[in-house]
Amino acid sequence: MDELPIGRRVAYWRGRRKMSQQVFADRLGKSKSWVDKVERGVRRLDKFSVLYEIAVILRIDVQLLLGKDPERRTDAFSCIDQVEVQEIRAALEQYASMTVYFDAVSYPPPLSDMRKAVTHAWLTYQYGRYGMLTRALPKLLREAQAADAGYGGEQGKEAAHLLGQVYQIASSVLRKLGECELAWLAADRSMAVAQRADDQLLAGVATARVCNALVAMGRARPALELNVSIANRLAPGGMNDSAPDRLSVYGMLLLQGAMAAARFGDSDTVEDLLHGAHEAALMLGSDQNHYWTSFGPTNLELHRAAAAVELGDGGRAVEIHQGIPEPSFNGLLPERRAHHLLDIARGYAQLGDIAKAGEMLLRGDRLAPSEIRCRPIAHEVMSDVLRRTRGALPAPIAELAEQMGVGV
């Protein structure tokens, strides 16, 4: 296989994954003609970023596409392993700001490079490529910490802002993958750094990350209190403006507060907070991504459905889902859509419609495989689907369950 041209390797692994050229092209965001030309060697495949995307979709190490021995297990592009967890833990345990107190950083990373790296990391997260992100995080954390320690003045504020974002990215992906304590640590660090960055909105988003981690650890009540407390301080009106970025962060805090309240069954508080978020979304007008929040009218409906699932009302969740305009839903980033489909799979399971629950898992997997294959809650839903399916499993469900490593 090593001697094969790279296009032939792509064709080989696509065949192993039982994907047609059209399905593969759709997942990659290319045309079928483009795929055909690559596989026949008519079109060169020389962009490493595209190679990585192909590796993610085919669930193989990129080294295999290059004809080399893989350095890690071949499913590493989908999930996280304990080696990666320990590398991230070690990076989070760095105290560069204290070290620089005694010995200044000689050559901190250029801020222009850090901006690009942080933007790329956010997009990797919002496209649901968690395996790729977790492998990049240790280096990104160390570089962001070095920049934060090495710059002063206005540059120091920007470096702190970038480090705060990296901590938030780390917290978000670690929580998704079930590493809740590390997620809390990263989020807690982001709150402290946001204060040094002198950015209230960054601090507001950091608060939401902390609260998400607390909810994941079973601490929903303090999460609710903290979300609402900071949301009240950032609310538009009075001395606060009504700029889109403020509306987005404020709305995000209310949505996360609603999810925390739903976790312990406080439906009245859920409705109050969703109402406040609805008003903010109306003022914003459309789904936007200020401070990487993806806040807006459509994302509000996704959270409304998710809260209904947490409250045990799968019927209401499905009703909300069916009322979301398809163009608006398709305009959201893959992580948001796949996350929502996982929530709706849970809703259908609550209704006893196991076939539909399985269908939602498959749809989510097509959008962002890591969101379905790597999250513990998705494994629980798949186990439920397998256990409650009568007769033979549909082949796509059986294949997905095998890829997830989930048995009856």
Q: What is the pLDDT of residues 71-129, one digit of tens each?
A: 444 343 457 776 778 888 888 877 655 444 444 555 789 999 999 999 999 999 999 99
- Say whether 237 sits in a helix, a strand or coil: strand
Domain edge (last residue) among 150, 168, 198: 198
Q: pLDDT-derived band of residue 54, with 50, 70 and 90 as boundaries? A: confident
Q: Is residue 379 part of a domain?
A: yes
pLDDT at residue number 55: 78
Q: Tens of pLDDT along 222-256?
A: 999 999 999 999 999 989 999 999 999 999 999 99
Assess contact for 94 and 33: CB atoms under 8 A: no
Give the CATH number, domain containing residue 35. Answer: 1.10.260.40
Q: What would the two tokens of residue 279 be?
A: 């008003």
Q: Is residue 78 part of a domain?
A: no
Q: What would the two tokens of residue 173 be?
A: 């992906």
Domain check: are 96 and 58 in the same one? Answer: no
Domain check: are 113 and 156 in the same one? Answer: yes
| The CA-based dihedral angle spanning residues 26, 31, 34, 40, taken in that order and rounded to the nearest 10 degrees | 60
Residue 182 has pLDDT above 70, yes or no: yes
Domain span including residue 379: 333-408
Residue 240's beta-bridge partner residues?
Answer: 237
pLDDT at residue number 77: 41
Mean pLDDT of the 251-263 span: 98
Query: Which among 200, 207, 127 is positioned nearest to 167, based on CA atoms?
Result: 207
Look at the chain and report how many structural domains it folds into: 4
Lowest mean pLDDT among 29-43, 81-95, 308-322: 81-95
Assess contact for 136 and 124: CB atoms under 8 A: yes
Domain check: are 90 and 190 in the same one? Answer: yes
